[in-house]
Copies of this chain bind each other. A is one copy, B any other.
Amino acid sequence: MAVRPDRSVASGTIAWTQVRDEIRARGLRWTAQRRRILEVLEATRGHVTGSELVERCRERDPATTPSTVYRTLDVLEELGYLSHSHSAAGREEFHVMPEAEHAHLQCRVCGRTWELDADEAESVVDPVARSHGFAADLGHLTILGRCAVCVSAEAAEPRLPA
């Protein structure tokens, strides 16, 4: 799908004018709504759900429509500026401008999430690449389970059998 262009970018920040130019270069259009969404993304770090992004856009402009936001997020993902995965609850989790594609761990007990760096994610996905020739989308991968802390908490305070 999308090839992410090279970007000269300061630490953690994004050259958003470049997004605008790329949008125009593809025959897409630069609109007030898209500018607003990019402003919101610029002020965002880490992971956000779709509805959080809608909410933040509404703070800037109460007239914001969900469908417009989601459609723009689709476009940005297609262009490689975002990725999304699904949380344990099945909600969409967006990750803004990852410097490198990475996967996630999410604990179903305490809800915390961790990022897997590229090397680790690669080693996770390597077996299926070898045996099935399967090219995994690392950015979409969220592994659900229990973190080390919650596992040992469970061991310390065992449940009664029914």
Q: Is A123 an interface residue (CB 8 A)?
A: yes
Binary contact track A111-143/B, C-beta < 8 Å → 1, others 0: 000101000100111011001111111001101
Q: Which of B25, B128, B137 contacts A162 (CB 8 A)?
A: B25
Counting every copy of the chain, the complex holds 2
Q: Which residue of B lies closest to A89 (CB)?
A: B86
Interface residue tally for chain A (C-beta within 8 Å): 39
The segment out of A33-41, A53-61, A145-153 that lies at the interface is A145-153
- DSSP class of A's interface residues: helix, strand, loop or mixed? mixed
Binary contact track A85-104/B, C-beta < 8 Å → 1, others 0: 01010111000000000000
Interface CB pairs A-B, < 8 A, 19: A90-B90, A105-B132, A105-B134, A105-B136, A107-B134, A108-B137, A114-B132, A114-B134, A116-B128, A120-B127, A133-B151, A134-B143, A134-B147, A135-B146, A135-B147, A137-B145, A137-B146, A140-B144, A140-B145
Query: Which residue numbers of A lie inside 8 Å of B, CB to CB?
Result: 3, 5, 22, 25-26, 86, 88, 90-92, 105, 107-108, 114, 116, 120, 123-125, 127-128, 131-137, 140-141, 143-148, 151, 161-162
